């Protein structure tokens, strides 16, 4: 079984921009490459799971989403970081789908496809929906205080998750064995 870290994209790996469709506007957080390289070098497979309702809303196309995704992967690859796979939900928030976070569908699909052990895996995101998806999928969830993280803290009262200031802190938590159950 594989150990993995699932990352939300916008507000977690890259600076949040409203309905990003231009690859030229991709901005990685300063510590993103170094942090993810450390996690990857410790034997974790890296994945991206992202809600992209802008597709359903008509703000951008799936082709534009894919161009942004490629740019994100290229920017990380330039620093020696590779993602094993990615999943995105193109549906609107009011749709009845199993993939849109906080539903765990994207995570469970990737977990099955790549034989991932949830007991030694993590979900990292900046929104309550990311944390709730991770909890529902049975992985340790880390709320990073970038993007919407600080705003969503109150929405997670009573839920089991680990807060982290940035991706460097996420790396330290993961490499420190915080998910040993």
Helix (H, G, I), strand (E, B) or coil at 26: coil
The catalytic residues are 8, 10
**pLDDT higher than threshold 50 for residue 181:** no
- Residue 109, class by beta-carbon neighbours within 10 Å (0-12 exposed, 13-18 middle, 19+ buried)? middle
Joined tokens for residue 57: 């809303």
Give yes or no for a contact between 23 and 153, defined as CB atoms under 8 angstroms apart.
no
Going from the N-terminus, what domains does the chain have, and what CATH number goes with each? 4-175 (3.40.50.1000)
Cα(139)–Cα(76) distance, rounded to whole angstroms? 24
Mean pLDDT, residues 1-9 taken together: 97
**pLDDT higher than threshold 80 for residue 126:** yes
pLDDT digits (tens, 9 = 90+) for 42-99: 999 999 999 999 999 999 999 999 999 999 999 999 999 999 999 999 999 999 999 9
pLDDT digits (tens, 9 = 90+) for 94-114: 999 999 999 999 999 999 999
pTM: 0.95
């Amino acid at each position: 079984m594989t150990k993995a870290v699932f990352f939300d994209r916008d507000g977690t790996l890259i600076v949040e921009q409203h309905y990003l469709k231009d690859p030229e506007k991709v901005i990685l957080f300063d510590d993103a490459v170094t942090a993810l390289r450390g996690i990857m070098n410790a034997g974790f497979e890296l994945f991206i799971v992202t809600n992209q309702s802008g597709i359903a809303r008509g703000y951008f196309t799936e082709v534009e989403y894919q161009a942004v995704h490629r740019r994100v992967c290229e920017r990380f690859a330039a620093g020696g970081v590779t993602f094993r796979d990615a999943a995105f939900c193109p549906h609107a928030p009011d749709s009845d789908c199993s993939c849109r976070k906080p539903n765990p569908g994207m995570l469970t699909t990737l977990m099955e496809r790549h034989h991932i052990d949830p007991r030694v895996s993590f979900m990292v995101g900046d929104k309550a929906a990311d944390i709730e998806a991770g909890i529902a999928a049975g992985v340790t969830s880390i709320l990073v205080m970038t993007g919407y993280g600080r705003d969503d803290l109150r929405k997670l009262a009573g839920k089991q998750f680990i807060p982290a200031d940035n991706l460097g802190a996420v790396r330290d938590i993961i490499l420190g064995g915080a998910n040993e159950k």
